[in-house]
Structures are given as structure tokens and as C-alpha cells.
Amino acid sequence: MGKALRSWLVVPADEPAKLEKVAALDADVVLLDLSGVAEDAKSQARQMAADYLTGRPSPAPGMPGSQRWVRINPMGSAHWREDLVAVMPAAPNGIVLPRATGAEQVAQLASEIYELEQTSPAEHNSVRIVPQLGDTAAGALSAPDVIREPHPRLAGLAWDADALMHSAGLRPFGKGARRWPATVNHVRAQVVLAARAAGLFALETGSHVTKDADVFRALASEARSAGFEAMMARHPAQIRPIADIFSPTEEERARARLIVDAFERQPEAQVVSVDRFAADRSELARARTILGE
């Protein structure tokens, strides 16, 4: 993916006041959300998303907001194809698929995108896909299936804690900003491990903590330690902490350089030794992302 995409600002596509403010923010990704829109506002939101994408020049690559993605409605709904038809002429950088349930859905979505790319300004095979695998119990079990033969359009894997708890009848517990049952933490770990195994990035679910900066920073830091490389932002105040916390450290940059150099010396190798530890090609992909290559 080139430049690391750390902060993903979720913007409801049917709220013009929020869409107007996006240009002044510095999120790595603007994620126009069609899935969370009320049923009677789906058509209007679809048009507003298309108007936003076509009516505002995209910032230069690498600049804040230069990546513009769309979260469509789930496959199986009556809306997802219409969502694609509406936004593909504006050449979004990627599509987030909520409630994804496996590789078959990813392949079907990729096929639809391919057909629409033929008549859109998007470069061939340029529109990427991030499935949300942890939105339902079925989706949570599909991570191994999705990465068994990863589709070339896959960029990362995401999940949604609120959606999972709602669909599976789970409840948070205790006091504090986020206390998930072991079931939820298991799904979260599967998303991270599947992403790492396939050389993809892992995108953390958004947090409802918007007013307590210290609590949010603690949550973001924990997500970073858990292996996530990016996080959804539900409020503009969350963008800067995400960018700071998910930026690679000097130690991580140094190790990434060692991994890249080792593979350049052994271009045919599948595994190389770096600092007495083995590194495979999925780690090479992550190292290149860290270095911005």
C-alpha cells in the first residue's frame, strides 16, 4: 500500500456538516460510511458520497486525506451493488466490506469492482478491499479462509467490536472504557494473526471514547501493542493520537531496514535470519510498509 494508513476517520455519508469539515482534518484515510445510514436515507447517502468524491479534488498522494475509501452496505443486503455503481465512477482508493463472511464474498466483490473499473477513471486493479471479518460470529470464523489464498486486492483486515457483540448476543463487563469478554478478544486476536500471516495490515475497531484524551491514548496504545497497525477514528479528536501512537519507532524502522536488506541480498529466499530471528515474506511486506516503500 505504500504509505502506512494509520488513522481512518469514519464519516457518515448522509451528514453534510461532517463532510464539509473533512478537508480541514489530517486523517490518513477518509472512510465514507454507507452501511451505518438509516434505511430510508440509503439512496441520499449514496449520492452524497458520490458527490463528495467527484466534487472535491483528492489531495496529493501521501498528504492527509489523499486516501478516500467507502464502506458499502453488507453483501446480501439490497444496497451493496447500488453503492458500488454510485461510487466507482469517482475512483475511490478502496472499499471496506462490513459483515464479510469469507473468501467467496471477497472474490465476488472483487469481480464487481473489476467490471466497474472498466468504465471508471480508476486504474486497472487499483481499488483495494478491506473486509471486516469480526462483525458476526460467522465472519469471525472466516479469517483462515480469507487468507488461505489472499485475493490480490486485499489490503488489510478489519473488525467491529460493537457489531460482533450485537450479532452474537455478547455483553461488555466491568467498569472502564472497554472490557470485552474472552470471546471478543479471541476474534480480535484472530484478525491480527490472519493479517500478519498474509502480509496485510490489521485495522482496529473504533472507540466511543472521544472526550477523555488519556483514556483514548491508553486504548490506542494497547491496540498498537496487540499488533494492530491502524485504527478507525470516530471523532476528529482521535486522529492525532492514532497517528502518533501507530507511527513506527526508531527501533522498528531499524529492524525493518535489516529485513529489507536481508531479502535484497537473498532475493529467492522465503525466510531470512535477522538478529538471530527468522523473518518471512509477510514480515518483508510489513517492513516495507514501515519504511514507506
For the ranges 64-73, 147-156, 227-236, which has the lowest average pLDDT?
A: 64-73
Beta bridge partners of 30: 9, 68
Enclosing H/E stretch for 274 = strand 271-274
Please compute the mean of the pLDDT values over residues 91-111 and round it to a whole number: 96
pLDDT at 79 over 60: yes
Query: At residue 205, does pLDDT exceed 90?
Result: yes
Q: What is the reported pLDDT for 276? A: 85
Give the side-chain half-sphere CA count within 13 A for 219: 21
Q: 60 and 66 in contact (C-beta within 8 Å)?
A: yes
pLDDT in the model for residue 62 = 59
* Closest listed residue to residue 187, CA positions, set 134, 243, 240, 117: 134
Orientation of helix 281-290 relative to helix 182-198, angle to 10° = 90
Identify the weakest region by mean pLDDT among 41-55, 100-114, 224-238, 275-289.
Answer: 275-289
As a whole number, mean pLDDT of residues 211-232 equals: 95
Of 268, 261, 132, the C-alpha closest to 188 is 132
| DSSP H helical ranges for 88-136 | 103-117
Residue 132 has pLDDT above 50, yes or no: yes
The predicted model gives 275-293 an average pLDDT of 86
How far apart are the C-alpha atoms of 216 and 211, rounded to whole Å? 8
For residue 201, give the 3-state DSSP assignment. Answer: strand
**How many residues would you count in the chain?**
293
β pairing state of 230-233 and 271-274: unpaired
Where does the pLDDT of residue 181 fall: very low under 50, low under 70, confident under 90, or very high at 90 and above?
confident
Per-residue confidence (pLDDT) for residue 22, from 0 to 100: 87
pLDDT 10s digits, 241-251 = 999 999 988 99
pLDDT for res 154: 96
pLDDT of residue 2: 47
Average pLDDT along the chain: 91
pLDDT at 121: 85
Q: What is the mean pLDDT of residues 115-133?
A: 92
Question: Residue 179: which pLDDT band, with cuts at 50, 70 and 90?
Answer: confident
Q: What is the CA radius of gyration of the chain?
A: 19
pLDDT for position 123: 85
Least confident of 67-81, 114-128, 173-187, 274-288: 173-187
Is residue 1 scored above 50 in pLDDT? Answer: no
User: Which grid cell sits at 242?
Assistant: 492514532
Query: Given a cut of 90, is residue 90 above it in pLDDT?
Result: yes
Residue 172's pLDDT is what? 72
Mind listing the pLDDT tens digit for each residue in 250-269? Answer: 998 999 999 999 999 999 99
DSSP letter, residue 14: T
